[in-house]
Amino acid sequence: MAGVYIHIPYCRQACHYCDFHFSTNLQDQELMIKCLSQEISIRKDFLKEPVETIYFGGGTPSLLSVKSLDLLIKTLRTSFIVTNDAEITLEANPDDLSKSKLEQLIMAGINRLSIGIQSFDNTILSYLNRSHDAESALVALTDARQVGFSNISLDLIYAIPDLSMDMWRKTINTALEFKPEHISTYGLTIEDKTPFGTWLKKGQLKLMDEESAARQFETLGEMMLAAGYDQYEISNFSLPGMHSRHNSSYWTQTPYLGVGPGAHSYDGASRFSNVRSNPRYTQSIMDGKPDMEAELLHSKEKINEFILTTLRTKWGCNLEVLKTQLGDDLMARRQAYITQQQLAGLILVEHNVIRLTSRGKLLADKITEDLMVDDSD
């Protein structure tokens, strides 16, 4: 199986926390669509296996007209074998989702929506500089259900300064009222080249303390579990069987093609990164030579990527697979550390698989880093 990611590099306005690649200048959209379609055709031999997932991410893919999305899906279908049951996801902001647009999206073949809700509290939404308010999010969710979307994911953010526990609980409860098939959650991180990054440097933003952030994460886990959701990855919850097939493919080292400025691809051996600039991207496509960098993944990078991605999932890091497929005997390499973390109740080792416990998930980044191959190995 294989997947395709298409990066749509436009947003109506810049959220204060975001460092993704996007532009708020929507003028050159028509040329961009043409180039995205062209890149798909140019790279039609990149994937050797049928495409089972297509993901329109961004940026804000829901800004595109349905006609543009339709063109891109048709180009994908003519360039690759796309399976009949392919998961086709569109990331969307609530303010783009009128009822008629939702109906047209279904007609175009979109069968999964990932809606950037982030919060149901208007003070928080305006602090984040989101382009929508809570009311439009509620309307979009209701309409999406009414027109027939049966696979909806919501994004929510916690650990935002001034997000009280009460506000966080209310946001989770409101989300759960819609019984979304999937919820992705992110603890706010402050990136340098964002307005929040600037405010932090100037002392105008105070981060949530680690303990409060951990309590919001734990509360989330408890509420989701009580509502019947499976935390199949640290940041992702789904109703049974409704995990994101596209994201899961990233965690299982499945090849994927990334189309568009700033998109990444992986062919099983190397990673490719498209240039992160709209004008340079479109020019290179018009010249027939996509501007990208290739990086051959060496054994160390493959091992570390395997540990990093699998440890975050409920399936855990399979020591046998790591040893036989990538030649790394993690148990021998970090035996003392693993025993120490087991005794501390942060990891479990069962049937040759390492998994993080609930408490371990709070320290996932540190534990992962400690297990990775480093210069001393």
Task: Identify whether the C-beta of residue 61 lies closer than 8 Å to the C-beta of residue 8.
Answer: yes
Contacting ligand SF4 (CB under 6 A), which of 8, 11, 102, 154?
Answer: 11
Decide: is 290 part of the binding site for ligand SF4 (CB under 6 A).
Answer: no
Q: Which residues pair with 183 in a beta bridge?
A: 154, 237
What character string, x for contact with ligand SF4 (CB under 6 A) and - otherwise, covers 17-56? -x-x-x----------------------------------
User: Which positions ≥6 away from 30 have C-beta within 8 Å?
Assistant: none
Number of residues that bind ligand SF4 (CB under 6 A): 11
Helix extents (H) in 80-121: 99-108
Contacting ligand SF4 (CB under 6 A), which of 23, 37, 53, 60?
Answer: 60
Q: Considering the complex, state which of residue 177 and residue 186 has its C-beta at the smaller distance from ligand SF4.
A: 186
Decide: is 261 part of the binding site for ligand SF4 (CB under 6 A).
Answer: no
Q: Which stretch binds ligand SF4 (CB under 6 A): 15-23, 275-283, 297-305, 361-369?
A: 15-23
**What is the dihedral sign for C-alpha 65, 66, 67, 73?**
positive
Decide: is 278 part of the binding site for ligand SF4 (CB under 6 A).
Answer: no
Decide: is 14 part of the binding site for ligand SF4 (CB under 6 A).
Answer: yes
Q: Where are the beta strands (DSSP E) in the chain?
A: 2-8, 51-58, 82-92, 112-118, 152-158, 182-187, 230-233, 236-238, 256-259, 264-266, 270-274, 292-296, 317-318, 347-350, 353-356
Least distance from ligand SF4 to the Cβ atom of residue 60, Å? 5
Residue identified by tokens 């019947």 is: 228
CA pair distance 268, 253, nearest whole angstrom: 7
Q: Considering the complex, state which of residue 15 and residue 275 has its C-beta at the smaller distance from ligand SF4.
A: 15
Contacting ligand SF4 (CB under 6 A), which of 2, 4, 15, 373?
Answer: 15
DSSP, residue by residue, 36-60: HHHHHHHTTTS--S-EEEEEEEES-
CA pair distance 118, 104, nearest whole angstrom: 25
The residue type of 216 is Q
3 state SS of 350: strand
Site residues (CB under 6 A) for ligand SF4, limited to 92-111: 93
Q: Which stretch binds ligand SF4 (CB under 6 A): 57-65, 197-205, 341-349, 368-376?
A: 57-65
Decide: is 116 part of the binding site for ligand SF4 (CB under 6 A).
Answer: yes
Least distance from ligand SF4 to the Cβ atom of residue 19, Å? 8
Joined together, the tokens standing for residue 9 give 């590099």
Q: Considering the complex, state which of residue 58 and residue 290 has its C-beta at the smaller distance from ligand SF4.
A: 58
Decide: is 58 part of the binding site for ligand SF4 (CB under 6 A).
Answer: yes
Distance of CA 142 to the CA centre of its chain: 23
Decide: is 307 part of the binding site for ligand SF4 (CB under 6 A).
Answer: no
Q: Considering the complex, state which of residue 155 and residue 328 has its C-beta at the smaller distance from ligand SF4.
A: 155
Q: Considering the complex, state which of residue 140 and residue 346 has its C-beta at the smaller distance from ligand SF4.
A: 140
Least distance from ligand SF4 to the Cβ atom of residue 135, Å? 18
Q: Please count the CA atoms within 13 angstroms of the CA of 97 that sit on its side-chain side.
A: 31
Q: Which stretch binds ligand SF4 (CB under 6 A): 16-24, 38-46, 143-151, 167-175?
A: 16-24
- Where does this chain bind ligand SF4 (CB under 6 A)? 11, 14-15, 18, 20, 22, 58-60, 93, 116
